[in-house]
Amino acid sequence: MENYICRTCGVEFTETETPPTSCPICDDPRQYVGWDGQRWTTMAELKAEGHRNDVREEEQGLTGIGMTPSFTIG
């Protein structure tokens, strides 16, 4: 079982045998689903693609957390 991650918004879902049929965040009219439909990934796939966590001090007392290379709408 995998925790699938939406490739559009980056939300990780509860473990399932197969990817979810849709993402409730991307289905919202204020968001979007890509022309080629809903796409999913896993943490293992992201690591294999070279993604890594990026934690940095933006300024004194403010820590930024992200991913390099960038991923999703964030």
Would you place residue 2 in the very low, low, confident or very high pLDDT band (cuts 50, 70, 90)?
A: very high
pTM: 0.83
What DSSP line would sit under 12-56, residue for residue? B---BSS--S--HHHHSTTS---TT---EE-HHHHHHTT-EEEEE
Q: What own/partner pairs with CB < 8 Å and gap ≥ 24 does 46-50 have?
A: 46/5, 46/71
Asked if residue 73 has pLDDT above 90, the reply is no
Tokens of 46: 């992201």
Average pLDDT score over the chain: 94
pLDDT tens readout for residues 15-39: 999 999 999 999 999 998 888 889 9
Task: Give the closest residue to 41 by CA, choosing from 15, 10, 1.
Answer: 10
